[in-house]
Structure 1
Amino acid sequence: MFASITGADKELLSCITRLPSFFWEGNWAEEIHLTICPIPSLQDGNDLTVTRDNTGCRIEYRLPVHLFRGLGLLKEHAEEKNFFINQKMYIPEIGIMTDVSRNSVPSPEFLQSLLDRMALMGLNCLILYMEDVYEIEGEPRFGYMRGGYTREQLRSIDDYAAGYGIRIVASIQVLGHMEKVLRFPEYAGLRDSSSCLLAGSEETEQFICKMLSSIGSCLRSRQIIVGMDETHGLGEGRYRVLNGRRPPIEIYLEHLNRVHALAGRYGLNIAFYSDMLFKYGSEKHTYLDPHMQLDEKTKELIPSDAQLIYWDYYSREASLLNDMLACHRSIGPTVYAGPLLSVSSFCVQYEATWKTAGPALMAVKRQKIPMVYGCLWHDDGAECSDWLGLPGMQYYAEHAYTEGVVDPGSLDSRFLACTGLDAGWFRDAALLDEIPCINPENRWPPNPCKYILWQDPLEGLYDADIRGLSLDLHYRRTAQLLRRDLEEAGENGAFLRVPLALAEVLEIKSALSGALSWHYREHDMTALQQDAAALSELYVRVKKLRRLHREQWMSSCSPFGWSRLDLRYGGLLARLETASDRLQDYLEGRLSELPELAVPRYTLDRCGDLLGNGIWKVYDKSVSLSDG
């Protein structure tokens, strides 16, 4: 703790003293006499000034979150006896979105740990993407057996964040992405299609009112993100039966206006994702069309105070990003949602994140976009922990407080001060996907760690893709790095156990996938004997991975959702057992052939000598072609 603190009220002092133990390690603060001073308007438009000299330390700040960023800067420069730092925010609202609807629901305690570190970084917004994982009074089937948050839990998260000056913003769905709700018979009346609510329905509007009322009663923020993205087939289901065929943009805009009006009843201001608006208005029927033009009549139908969210996780061209932002701004107030590429993987793919987020964050600063957030999406199982997103959070924060370009490689000391962790550990974890032979032209970040893990050992769909790439050597080296990192990190390195165990699995499985079928077709019995031994060792390593992954999940998330991954691991272990038994039977003469290994292998994800040709590699498309 500091030798003394002057200028902090009781509430602020409690938030400072609750900062996690890593912040106080080394007793660096014990000799510091700290004065904190809120100043509504600092000189030269700055938001934060941190000074240290022989009289002590002084932090002048405009908003509470600036104070906590100042504390992070003070820790970073703790060994310096004299310094002066002033900073300005170039992105007024900078935050992170975490997807709490795709299988994993982080515990309130885990979110508090993230918020501690976000505060020291200077991030001032945490968005929770919640499709059906919040409580609605009188709707027991909403979020049934999904491990969602109670209203009391949301209020506690909001209270905790508010102490740091961080807003909690709910991101819900009021049109599409509602399949988890609409699967229940009692919600049949709300259904247009399997995933879309029935627009223009009084019953739907009453249901949306319940959603808005629940969120509005839990969170301080009056901003709410209402989704409305990816509503493909809008009006083509029950809506068409009841109302006849209508242009989907008309249905969409009518619904948008009704939601806007309903939100107003609860004092809420809406933001919505813009992709469908662009697709309806584009001559190419595509989202990324900077030449899309809405006629004036259509523009007038968009509520003037509704914010358009331009989401783009893969574009790297500065000209496209600038043009898309300008096109959005010509329609209405704009928010940008960018990448922290964790989707459909066990890790955050940082090389791809820097290549996309870097030019995007420069573009939003040039165009003075007032709100930006990086997205940790967890589609297809939520296999990646949000903890692995921390370096990306730091990157977004530094961009907000830096006018120009931010080099992600220069942030290690900031990251250590704000998290107590070594950024190099996270770069090593990213090597699970960042293999040497990635196609640089691939728009979608390849996720070899996922499809190599889950693909069938006898019917491997990606066998030909990874053959000859020596990925076993890459994963052996990755495991060595992560093992060293885990030893260095000690108790702070628990998050590295799953990446390490996965690298140890992939070392064997990548070699087997690239060889087993060929050894069989070449009748190489010696090699097949070695493959049989490798299958036995692989089984042991997968069991270890499952155990460590389960421990990580249960320590940070609701237990609901783990069942999906348990089934994946159970299926993989069963198939490894079958593969081992069948191969042994073949080697010992009890089987004359193995038809699964006789099938020729063809490439799916290879472009010359490189991996990554733009296909979306999720679990169901990786594990088997057999139809259940």
Structure 2
Amino acid sequence: MLYNVSGLSQGKQLSTVLPEFFCARGGIPITAVKGLSEGYIVNKANDGKIKIVHSSVSDLILALGSLICGDVKEDEKVIAPVSFRGLMLDCSRNAVPKVEYLKESLSRLALMGLNHFCLYTEDTYEVIGEPLIGYGRGKYTKVELKEIVDFCEGVGITMFPCIQTLGHLEQVLKYGKYCKHRDTDRVLNACDEKTYEFVDKIISEAIGPYKSDLIHLGMDECWGIGRGNAFKEDAPIKPLEIYAKHVARVAEICRNKGLKPVIWGDFVIGMSGEKAMDERETGIIPKYVIMNYWNYYHSDKQKYLDEMNKYKKLDYDPIVSPGLQNWGRFWINHEMVEKTVKPCMDAVHELGIKRVLMTMWGDDGHENLFEGDYHSLAYYLSLCLNPSPSDEFWKLRASKICSVSVAKFAKFSQFDVMDKVPGLKDGYFKPTSKMLFYDDPLYGVINRMFSNDKISDIFWKTSKFYRKAEAGAGKHSDLFRLAALYSSIIALKFRICMDSRNAYESKKKLRLKTQMKELLRLEKKIEKFHKLYRKLWLRERKPFGLEVIDQRFGGMILRARCMRETLKKYVDGKIKTIPEYELDDPEGIEFRDVQTYRQLSTRCLSLW
């Protein structure tokens, strides 16, 4: 069903980006009138015409989404309990989305209720006169950001800058030009006046393309503050006081520019390795600073309530940030989303909090593709619209607005939800499949930690599922083909690791020859996966950062080839032993020691 939106100010924009829903000719006519203080009402006339009375563009777009889903409540005023329904997208860890991709994606999310959005940019935004900031990292130009901001305004989404003004600045501080601003390799020197000239400049540059007076200043996880170049001999170290004074200084810079500053609140309540601030320290921070509470891992509502109430006791009305569980892995873990986001949102509703900012981080390379996350975003936004939405409500939005089969997309969770596998505790919180995917085939550290020969069977079945699902997946067929390849690589590699080691230990060289053939097969599978992954990455993102992933996949291919050559030398009698197989099982290693690519790729950690 098509809706004629030619009568709306944003009609051309909607019909251009989402022609499957909206048109300028034919279709069911839509008219809109701004006449409410909040929410929207949909009226259907006898002649089929539809009139939407609304309070804001966001409510108008949300009403259109309900029409598309076919569950609109006629002549009934609809008001969402969460008024600030936000999303933060990490653009600082390899992946920087293309402008056109953002336009389509954000339009779909707006139809499901999104009305605030920020791009997390540590260094990936243009700073005039500072070409090294964001160099070779795909940074957005001011022109690009203004284009996104203007587009978002048309679909009812308020964009605001989200930067860092204390920690998480290693991508800037790595350059010699900026060493004068270092406290540590990743934290600015909050005890140096020159730092504030620098911070003033980047804030001025960051806000240029935006129309909102809101700015997120970051300031989370400032580990080591006051202990590096800011340290003074024979003087007490007071990291929390240094932090609070820095917040106050930067907040004043913002206030002078007419801005409303937001900071992550972990340092204030003692979530990042420091004790919680005392009354004197919190008193240094101005009350006009907006605290942003984040926690991504609780599955108990009471724990969220306890932490949110810490801000309430300090007279802050926090923005609340759950996490979409997309980072550090290839595939989003929706089961973990439901386990953690639902109790968080229950606490939000119980306390009457009106502002929520979902986070989509990109830790460890940002391998996760946005295309595979729509179902979880639909789930989150539904919780903003209704404290207890039915499964049908959010699944309908994922299906109708995003063309997503929730049953198929939700199965991505199975890549990591393997808590019943012997040897793996707390499986919901570990990127299990990624650990197996990157596990070196010759060392087989993860392989030996599992000690379960059914792993291979599990992933072969998953691969079969996605090969079958690919046929009817429409525009998502490439994503399902990628999932099938991913599963088959893990299944094949796990079997190779186990069988090769067993053959070596039992001195059966004939079986090792078979594994050499299997390794060649593995190389070809990884090459196919790499080619398809590059295609999907470049569909969504700028090319910058993809070289990191290229190197990872290239390393996988070479390591499989090296293992094949090592086995051949042993079989041919050119070497008497395979040293990697002479290592004892890795006793004492925990899964947290080997859950990122850097931890998995080598046993060597080189700091110099």
2: CA distance, partners of 1:569 / 1:2: 43
Tell me what 2:352 maps to.
368
Q: 2:269, 2:310 within 8 Å by CA — same for their partners in 1?
A: no
Compared with structure 1, are the counterparts of its residues 258 and 220 closer, same or farther at alpha carbon in structure 2 (3 Å cutoff)? same
Residue in structure 2 matching 1:513, options 480, 493, 497: 497
Q: Secondary structure of the equivalent of 1:558?
A: coil
Tell me what 2:10 maps to.
12
Q: Secondary structure of the equivalent of 2:212?
A: coil
1: CA distance, partners of 2:81 / 2:3: 33
Residues 1:36 and 2:32 aligned together: yes
2: CA distance, partners of 1:247 / 1:130: 29
2: CA distance, partners of 1:117 / 1:243: 58
Compared with structure 1, are the counterparts of its residues 313 and 320 closer, same or farther at alpha carbon in structure 2 (3 Å cutoff)? same
Shift of 1:147: 1.1
Compared with structure 1, are the counterparts of its residues 123 and 625 closer, same or farther at alpha carbon in structure 2 (3 Å cutoff)? same
Residues 1:624 and 2:602 aligned together: yes
2: CA distance, partners of 1:174 / 1:552: 33
Task: Specify the code of the residue in structure 2 equivalent to 1:75.
Answer: I
2: CA distance, partners of 1:202 / 1:3: 57
Task: Specify the code of the residue in structure 2 equivalent to 1:72.
Answer: G
Shift of 1:493: 3.0
TM-score (normalizing by structure 1): 0.90
Among all aligned residue pairs of Structure 1 and Structure 2, give the percentage whose two residues are the same amino acid.
Answer: 25
Q: 2:15, 2:21 within 8 Å by CA — same for their partners in 1?
A: no
Shift of 1:367: 0.9
Q: 1:462, 1:604 within 8 Å by CA — same for their partners in 2?
A: no
Shift of 1:487: 1.4
Q: 2:523, 2:561 within 8 Å by CA — same for their partners in 1?
A: yes
Q: 1:464, 1:603 within 8 Å by CA — same for their partners in 2?
A: no
Shift of 1:436: 6.3
Q: Secondary structure of the equivalent of 2:304?
A: helix
Compared with structure 1, are the counterparts of its residues 194 and 480 closer, same or farther at alpha carbon in structure 2 (3 Å cutoff)? same
Shift of 1:183: 0.9
Q: 2:41, 2:74 within 8 Å by CA — same for their partners in 1?
A: no
1: CA distance, partners of 2:152 / 2:285: 32
1: CA distance, partners of 2:400 / 2:278: 47
Residues 1:426 and 2:409 aligned together: yes
Task: Specify the code of the residue in structure 2 equivalent to 1:148.
Answer: K
Residues 1:462 and 2:446 aligned together: yes
1: CA distance, partners of 2:539 / 2:440: 29
Q: 1:516, 1:597 within 8 Å by CA — same for their partners in 2?
A: no
Residues 1:62 and 2:55 aligned together: yes
2: CA distance, partners of 1:441 / 1:467: 14
Compared with structure 1, are the counterparts of its residues 596 and 466 closer, same or farther at alpha carbon in structure 2 (3 Å cutoff)? same
Tell me what 1:230 maps to.
221
Instruction: Please list the CA deviations of residues 315-354 of structure 1 after superposition, one character each: whole Å capped at 9, or x if unmatched.
Output: 1111111111111122212011111001110011111111
Residue in structure 1 matching 2:268, options 251, 259, 277: 277
Task: Specify the code of the residue in structure 2 equivalent to 1:437.
Answer: K
Shift of 1:627: 4.2
Task: Specify the code of the residue in structure 2 equivalent to 1:172.
Answer: I
Residues 1:77 and 2:70 aligned together: yes
Instruction: Please list the CA deviations of residues 238-280 of structure 1 after superposition, one character each: whole Å capped at 9, or x if unmatched.
Output: 1114894431111111100110011122221111111122229
1: CA distance, partners of 2:428 / 2:4: 51
Compared with structure 1, are the counterparts of its residues 285 and 256 closer, same or farther at alpha carbon in structure 2 (3 Å cutoff)? closer
Instruction: Please list the CA deviations of residues 193-227 of structure 1 after superposition, one character each: whole Å capped at 9, or x if unmatched.
Output: 11111113222111111111112211111111111
Instruction: Please list the CA deviations of residues 117-174 of structure 1 after superposition, one character each: whole Å capped at 9, or x if unmatched.
Output: 1111111111211000000111111111111000110100101101011011222110
Residues 1:528 and 2:524 aligned together: no
2: CA distance, partners of 1:581 / 1:370: 61
Compared with structure 1, are the counterparts of its residues 269 and 440 closer, same or farther at alpha carbon in structure 2 (3 Å cutoff)? farther
Shift of 1:603: 5.8
Shift of 1:600: 2.5
Q: 2:334, 2:412 within 8 Å by CA — same for their partners in 1?
A: no
1: CA distance, partners of 2:411 / 2:26: 34
Q: Secondary structure of the equivalent of 1:229?
A: coil
Shift of 1:362: 0.8
2: CA distance, partners of 1:183 / 1:34: 54
Task: Specify the code of the residue in structure 1 equivalent to 2:220.
Answer: D
Shift of 1:407: 4.9
Residue in structure 1 matching 2:303, options 296, 306, 320: 320
2: CA distance, partners of 1:186 / 1:437: 51
Tell me what 1:289 maps to.
none
Residue in structure 2 matching 1:399, options 383, 392, 396: 383
1: CA distance, partners of 2:390 / 2:444: 39
Q: Secondary structure of the equivalent of 1:411?
A: helix
Q: 1:87, 1:401 within 8 Å by CA — same for their partners in 2?
A: no
Q: Secondary structure of the equivalent of 2:472?
A: helix
Tell me what 2:167 maps to.
176
- 1:77-476 alignment, distance < 5 Å: 77=70, 86-241=77-232, 244-279=235-270, 285=274, 294-295=278-279, 297-331=280-314, 332-402=316-386, 404-408=387-391, 411-435=394-418, 437=420, 442=426, 445-476=429-460
TM-score (normalizing by structure 2): 0.93
Compared with structure 1, are the counterparts of its residues 409 and 588 closer, same or farther at alpha carbon in structure 2 (3 Å cutoff)? farther
The root-mean-square deviation of aligned C-alpha atoms, in Å, is 2.6
Q: 1:465, 1:604 within 8 Å by CA — same for their partners in 2?
A: no
Shift of 1:526: 4.7
Q: 1:454, 1:623 within 8 Å by CA — same for their partners in 2?
A: yes
2: CA distance, partners of 1:351 / 1:605: 27
Tell me what 1:559 maps to.
543
- Unmatched runs of 5 consecutive residues or more in structure 1: 287-291, 607-612
- Unmatched runs of 5 consecutive residues or more in structure 2: none
2: CA distance, partners of 1:2 / 1:133: 38
Q: 1:314, 1:444 within 8 Å by CA — same for their partners in 2?
A: no
Tell me what 2:555 maps to.
571
Q: 2:3, 2:21 within 8 Å by CA — same for their partners in 1?
A: no
Q: 1:444, 1:616 within 8 Å by CA — same for their partners in 2?
A: no
Q: Secondary structure of the equivalent of 1:504?
A: helix
Q: 1:346, 1:499 within 8 Å by CA — same for their partners in 2?
A: no
Which region of structure 1 is more displaced relative to structure 2, 69-78 or 431-440? 431-440
Compared with structure 1, are the counterparts of its residues 53 and 207 closer, same or farther at alpha carbon in structure 2 (3 Å cutoff)? same
2: CA distance, partners of 1:243 / 1:252: 20
1: CA distance, partners of 2:52 / 2:70: 13
Instruction: Please list the CA deviations of residues 88-143 of structure 1 after superposition, one character each: whole Å capped at 9, or x if unmatched.
Output: 21111012111000111111111112111111111111121100000011111111
Q: Secondary structure of the equivalent of 2:443?
A: coil
- 1:529-548 alignment, distance < 5 Å: 529-548=513-532
Q: How many residues are matched?
A: 603
Q: Which has the higher contact order (CA 8 A, sep 6+)?
A: 1
Tell me what 1:609 maps to.
none
2: CA distance, partners of 1:499 / 1:85: 43
Q: 2:418, 2:427 within 8 Å by CA — same for their partners in 1?
A: no
1: CA distance, partners of 2:62 / 2:152: 14
2: CA distance, partners of 1:363 / 1:440: 30
Shift of 1:411: 2.5
1: CA distance, partners of 2:223 / 2:208: 31
2: CA distance, partners of 1:576 / 1:558: 29
Task: Specify the code of the residue in structure 2 equivalent to 1:555.
Answer: R
Shift of 1:490: 2.7
Q: 2:438, 2:601 within 8 Å by CA — same for their partners in 1?
A: yes
Runs of 4+ deviating beyond 6 Å: none
Q: Secondary structure of the equivalent of 1:59?
A: strand
Residue in structure 1 matching 2:42, options 50, 56, 61: 50
2: CA distance, partners of 1:536 / 1:272: 51
2: CA distance, partners of 1:530 / 1:59: 67
